[in-house]
Amino acid sequence: MNTDLSFWHLVLTAGPVVKLVMLLLVLTSVISWMIIYSKSRQLSRATKEATAFENEFWSGADANQMYQQLRSSEHVLTGMEHVFERGFSEFARLVKQTNDADTVVEGSYRAMKIALSRETDMVEQHLSFLATVGSTAPYVGLFGTVWGIMNSFTALSEVQQATLAMVAPGIAEALIATAIGLFAAIPAVVAYNRLSNKSDRLLNRYDNFMEEFAAVLQRQVLRRSNQAVR
């Protein structure tokens, strides 16, 4: 008697619990790939925008003019543009109210810090899902495997003579759950490490720009104070 051990036959003939585990892992894998694709595009776009903004800003462009252009633009500000716009907006408001350099710089720095925190949330969004999939999917698959093997041996206990042909299909369909778990986990782990590295580098660029821009604003406030004294 020939036993069909093809992949699809084993999946279709698996028990309900094992089928549920396989379906859960496949759905998890699909969601993971969607996140990987969207986050890769998001980080690549944000990196290009940050590079373009830094090149324009440090080329000697007028900060007030850049601020006005950003305020008049119709697109939602994100990334380094958002940090700059929040900091300069608070700076322009405070310099009209006080000549104290520390107050102006601290207020601008706090505004940029809040903007940076929001950008951090956006950049790191959904990365925890990939980490969760990478760490739990093999165990979910292993649960399906253990359940399938347990049912196979339970069925064997009801027959008088067990043969390899009777054992093989049950064990094979059970092991497929572990294989699917690894298929879901491995890309998630690799993508999480890669995307986390890219996001950390991008956020470090935001943070460095914030510190450098705060120093620029401090020099402008001190220059204004010296001119007012004269």
Report the SS3 class of residue 116. Answer: helix
pLDDT computed for residue 140 by the predictor: 92
Q: Does residue 167 have a pLDDT over 70? A: no
H helices, E strands: number in the chain: 7, 0
Cα–Cα distance measured from residue 5 to residue 184, given in angstroms and rounded to the nearest whole number: 22
Residue that wins the pLDDT comparison between 112 and 167 = 112
Residue that wins the pLDDT comparison between 115 and 74 = 115
Q: How confident is the model at residue 83 (pLDDT cuts 50, 70, 90)?
A: very high
- Whether the CB-CB separation of 211 and 163 falls below 8 Å is answered with no
| Mean pLDDT (whole number) for 211-221 | 88
- Report residue 12: phi and psi, to 5°: -70, -30
**Letter string b/e over residues 138-169, b meaning 16 or more CB atoms within 10 A of that residue's CB:** bebbbbbbebbbebbeeeeeeeeeeeeeeeeb
With pLDDT > 70 as the criterion, what percentage of the chain qualifies? 84
Read off the tokens for 189.
Answer: 């782990």
Q: Which of 130, 127, 92 is nearest to 217 (CA)?
A: 92
Mean pLDDT is lowest, of 70-79, 140-149, 220-229, for 220-229
Residue 175, classified by CB atoms within 10 Å of its CB into exposed (0-12), middle (13-18) or buried (19+), is middle
| Mean pLDDT (whole number) for 36-44 | 95
Q: Does residue 171 have a pLDDT over 70? A: yes
| Mean pLDDT (whole number) for 221-227 | 70
